[in-house]
Chains A and B, each alone.
Chain A
C-alpha cells in the first residue's frame, strides 16, 4: 500500500492545470476507493498471520482488564488503610486468588490495576517518541544541506547513548516522580530508532518520480513532506511504534523496579520493586513475584507480535513469518 502515489487527490498541480471540477471529484472518488480496497487487502493479509492475531487477542484481554479494573476490583481494595487487617504476604487462597502483598492487599487486584499504568505509560510515551522520531526523521531525510545533516548527526549521536542508563539518570536528575515525568523521560529518549527508520524511508520516497514532479511544480517543503512523504512513511511508523510500545513498557518496569517510578501508582514494575523490598524472592513468596512478570511478558509479547506482523504485511521485503 505504500507504493501508490498517495495524496494525488489533493495535488495542487491537478487544479493548477485547470481540470474541470467533475473529473477531479471522480478522481478523488477513485483514489478513495483504491484506498478502501488497499485497506481491505491489508486487513485480510494481517488476519492470515496467526502470530499477529494472537498478539491482538492478548492485547484485547489486557485492554479489557484495564478498562474494567474499577468494576472488578473497587479502588478501596488498593487502599492500605482498608486492607490493614488482612494477612500480609499470605499465599493464594479462596479469598485472594493470588495471595496478598506486604500490606495485605489482594495481589490480583493490584495486578489488574497495574495493567492500566503499564498501558497508559506505554502508549503515551510511544506517542511522544513517534512524533519526535517522525519529525526528526522526515526533516533529516527531506532537507539537504546543514539543517538535514545536523538532524542526522543528532540522531546518530543519540543512538550511541546507552538507553537504560540515560533513562535512569534522566529520571533521577528530574527528581519528582509523577506519571507525567515517567512518560516524558521515556518519550524523549526512545525516538532515535524511529528517526533512523523514517529517514531511510523518506529518502526512498523522495527518489520516486511523482515527488520529483511535486518539486518541479514548486510545492513547498511543507506540502511535499505532509502530502507526499508522510502518507508513505506512516504505515512503517505505525509498525515501528507498536514495537516501541513494547520497549517502553519494559523500560517503565525497569525504572519502577529501580525505585524511579511513581510511588503512588501501582504498576507492574512498582509491584516487583515492593516485592523485592519485602524479601519475596528469598522467602519464596512466588505469588507476588510471578504474576507481574508474566503480565509484562504477555503484554510486551503482544505488542512485539503485532509489530512484527504489521511490518511483514506492510513491507514484504523483510520476509518475516
Chain B
C-alpha cells in the first residue's frame, strides 16, 4: 500500500519543493536546504506537542520499570514536572533524546535506536532494489506496447499487488516458505536478521543476513513493484506522444534503441523522484513487516515501543523517521536536478 504518495501515479508528475533557480546546482542545493529548514522547525514543534497530547501522568509510567535507578527516576520526574516551555527548551537541545531513558528497557533511547538501525537499512535497501529492478522493467514493457497482452496481464497483477497489505503478504510467505507445514518445505527462517553467534561482517554473516532478509524484503517490495510499474507505464505512454521520439525514429534508430536511449531516460525522471520520496511510506511498511518476521530493526522497535507504551522511545523513532523523509526529499530534488538540465537552469 503506497498510500498518499507525493507523485501522482496517473500522470507521473512530481510535485515537491523543487523550484527552478538560476545559478547552477550549488545554488539549487542551497535553496533546497534553506526550505528544508522551515520544514525541520515544523517537524520539531509537531513532534514535541504530539507527545504532549498524552493523557495521564507521564512519570507514572516509569515507576513500573524495575531496572531504572532512583537517581534517573528523580531526574525524569523533575523534567516532566517542569513548565512546558522549559520542557520545550530541553527538547530543542536534545530532540533525538540522546540522553532520554526508555521506560521499557531502562536504558538510553539512543542506544536502542542505534543498535536497531542497520537491519532496517538492509531491509529497506534490498526491498527498494527489488522493486525498482522489477517494477521499472515491467512498466517500460507494458507502456511501450500499450494495450498488448503483456500490458493487460501486468496491469491486472499490478493492481492486485497495489491492494495487498504488505504484512499479510509476509504472513503468506511465512505460511508457504518458512513454516514447513503441509507440502511446503521450510526454505527460509521466519525470525531475526542473522543466526546467533555469527559476525555480520563475515561471509557467513552476509549469507545469514540475506537468508533472513529475502522474505521480508519481498513482502515489502510487492507494493512498490506495483507502484513503480504503474508510474513507469504512465510516463512511457506519455513519452510516446513526444515529438523527439518521432525524430529519433526518423533518424533510422531501431525501436529498442529509441526506447532505451530516448524514451526511458526521460520517462524515468518521475520514478526516480518517487523512489526517494517513498522512504516515508516504506518505513510505514517496515513497521508491520518487521513485526511479522520478528526482524529486529526500527520497525519492530516501533511496534515494541507502542506495545510497551514507551513514549520517549516512540518520540525518538518518530523524529528519526520524519528526518529521514526530509533528507530523502532533498536528495530527490538534487538527484533530479543532476539528471534534468531543465531544472538546473
Contact = CB atoms under 8 A, between A and B. Distances in A.
Interface of A: 153, 156-157, 159-166, 168-170, 172-175, 190, 192-193, 196, 244, 246-247, 250-251, 253-254, 257-260, 272, 275-276, 280-284, 286, 289-290, 292-293, 296-298, 300-301, 304-305, 308, 311, 317-321
Interface in B153-192: 159-160, 162-165, 167-169, 171-172, 174-175, 179, 181-182, 190
29 contacts: A156-B39, A160-B322, A160-B329, A161-B46, A161-B280, A163-B4, A164-B3, A164-B283, A164-B287, A165-B283, A165-B287, A168-B306, A169-B306, A175-B54, A254-B284, A257-B167, A258-B287, A258-B303, A282-B181, A282-B190, A284-B175, A284-B179, A296-B163, A297-B163, A300-B1, A304-B159, A317-B11, A319-B234, A319-B238
Contacts of B4: 159, 163, 190, 192-193, 244, 247
A247 B284 CA distance: 13
Contacts of A282: 174, 179, 181, 190
Contact of A304 (B162, B179, B281, B321): B162
Interface string B23-66: 00000000000000011001100100011011110000000000
A162 B281 contact: yes
Contacts of A321: 147
A190 to B, nearest CB: 6
Interface stretch (B108-116, B203-211, B309-317): B309-317
A162 B318 CA distance: 9
Counting from the closest, the 3 A-B pairs by CB-CB distance are: A164-B284, A284-B181, A162-B280
A259 B302 CA distance: 12
B127 interface: no
Contacts of A296: 163-165, 168
Contacts of B165: 250, 253-254, 257, 293, 296-297
Interface residues of B, number: 64
Nearest to A312: B10
Nearest to A279: B179
Contacts of B181: 282-284
B6 A247 contact: no
A242 to B, nearest CB: 13
B139 interface: no
Chain A contact residues, majority secondary structure: helix
Centre residue among B1, B11, B287, B314 by max chain A CB count within 10 A: B1
B285 to A, nearest CB: 7
Interface of B: 1, 3-4, 6, 10-11, 15, 17, 38-39, 42-43, 46, 50-51, 53-56, 147, 159-160, 162-165, 167-169, 171-172, 174-175, 179, 181-182, 190, 234, 237-238, 279-281, 283-285, 287-288, 291-292, 302-303, 306-307, 309, 311, 314, 317-318, 321-322, 325-326, 329
Nearest to B35: A156
A164 B285 contact: yes
A208 to B, nearest CB: 21
Residue of A161, A283, A289, A317 ringed by the most chain B CB atoms within 10 A: A161
A164 B281 CA distance: 7
A170 to B, nearest CB: 7
Given A164-B281, A293-B164, 18 more contacts: A156-B17, A160-B326, A164-B283, A168-B287, A168-B306, A173-B314, A190-B4, A247-B3, A250-B165, A254-B165, A254-B284, A254-B287, A254-B288, A257-B165, A282-B174, A284-B175, A296-B164, A320-B10
A182 to B, nearest CB: 14
A301 B161 CA distance: 9
B163 A246 contact: yes
A58 to B, nearest CB: 11
Q: Which of A168, A193, A308, A311 has the most CB of B within 10 A?
A: A168
Contacts of B292: 276, 281
Nearest to B191: A282
Nearest to A176: B55
A162 B174 contact: no
B325 A162 contact: yes
A286 B10 CA distance: 36
B321 A162 contact: yes
Given A193-B4, A196-B15, A276 B306 contact: no
B168 A318 contact: no
Contacts of B54: 173, 175
A250 B284 CA distance: 12
A258 B306 CA distance: 9
Nearest to B320: A165
A193 B292 CA distance: 29
A101 to B, nearest CB: 15
A171 to B, nearest CB: 8
Contact of B11 (A172, A272, A293, A318): A318
Residue with the highest number of chain A CB atoms closer than 10 Å, among B43, B165, B279, B318: B165
Contacts of A301: 159-160, 162-163
Contacts of B56: 175
A79 to B, nearest CB: 27
Contact of B168 (A157, A160, A251, A293): A293
A103 B92 CA distance: 49
A173 B51 contact: yes
Contacts of A156: 17, 39
A292 B169 CA distance: 12
A66 B147 CA distance: 36
Contacts of B322: 160-162, 165
Query: Which of A165, A169, A253, A286 neighbours the largest number of chain B CB atoms within 10 Å of its CB?
Result: A165
A281 B175 contact: yes
Contact of B318 (A169, A196, A293): A169
Contacts of A251: 1, 3
A290 B175 CA distance: 10
A276 B171 contact: yes
Nearest to A315: B10
A281 B168 contact: no
